[in-house]
Structure 1
Amino acid sequence: MKLVQVILSNMPNGRNPLSWIPFILLLIVMIPVLILMIILIPIILIINMLKLRFFPNKNPKTFITPFGFAAYSQVNRSVVNYPWHDIEKVEVWAEDNDTFAVLVMKTGEPVKVKDVAVEQMKALCAQHNITFYEEVVIVQEVD
C-alpha cells in the first residue's frame, strides 16, 4: 500500500513537462528492486531448504514453553516435549569442564539441558515446585 501511495504521489500532472522526471526516476529505481526481490527471495529460500536437508544442525535446540521443555532436533526432524508434571527433579552435572542442568524424569531418564542456564533452571524449578539439587554431580566415562 505504501508503494502505491509513493508512486501515485509522484505521478505527473501534465502541466509541467519536467513533472515526468521524478516519476521516471522512481520507476527506474523501483523496477530493478522489485525484479531483485522476485528473483532473490525464492533463491534464498531454496538455498536454506537445501542446507537444512543436507547439512542439518547436529545439536538439538531446547526451548522453554509454558508446558515444560521442548527439544527440537534438525537431524531427526522431530520435537520432543518434556512436560513439567513428568519432571521428578533437576540436578546440576559437570562434564568436560561444562556445568549444566539435567532433568531427571519420573521414568528415571536423564535429559541434559545445556542451552538453559543453571540459575534460570533454578528459578523455573521454584516456580513449578520441582526439586532442584545444587550439588554438582561430576560425570566421567570409565575406561
Structure 2
Amino acid sequence: MKVLWVEDHEPVRDMLAIAADKAARARVQVDLVMAPTLMAAEMRLRLERFDLVVLDLGLPDSMDPDMTIARVANMGKYRIAVVSSMESRDQAVASAVRCGANIHPQAVFKANLPFNRFIQRPESFEDFFMELMPAAGAPAITNRPARAA
C-alpha cells in the first residue's frame, strides 16, 4: 500500500519515518511518503499514485480545513483519512462525507495515535492504514443520494 502522509509537525514526521523504516525491515507492505505542506503534497499527488492520503488539517499553507480536504480530494482517486489535532476535524470530515468525497468517515485525533506501537510492532502500522481504507466490496462513497429514475 502506498501512503502519502501530509504532516507539518517535524517530531511526528520523525516518528512516522522510524515506523516506516521498521515496517520495511519487517517486510510489511507499506510505502510511506511524507509531505510537510499542502503544496508539497499536491506536487507528489501530481507525480505519483497513492492508495491513501493521510491528511493533517492544520497545515501552514492552508488554514481552511474544508478547502484542504477539497483540494486533495480533487486531485485523484485515492482514499483520504484525516489525522489531526484541530478541533474542527470532525466537522470537516462530516462535510466532506456529505459532499461525496472518498474519505474515512471518522477523523482520527492525532494525539491518540500509538506511535510507539507502530515502531515496536510494524504490522500494527499496516493495520492502522488498512482500517482507514473502505471495506472490500463496499462502495468508496457511501453517502451519495440516489438518483431519481
Q: TM-score, normalised by structure 1?
A: 0.24
Rg (Cα) greater in structure: 1
User: Which structure has the highest strand share of the two?
Assistant: 1
**Bigger RCO (CA 8 Å, 6+ sep):** 2
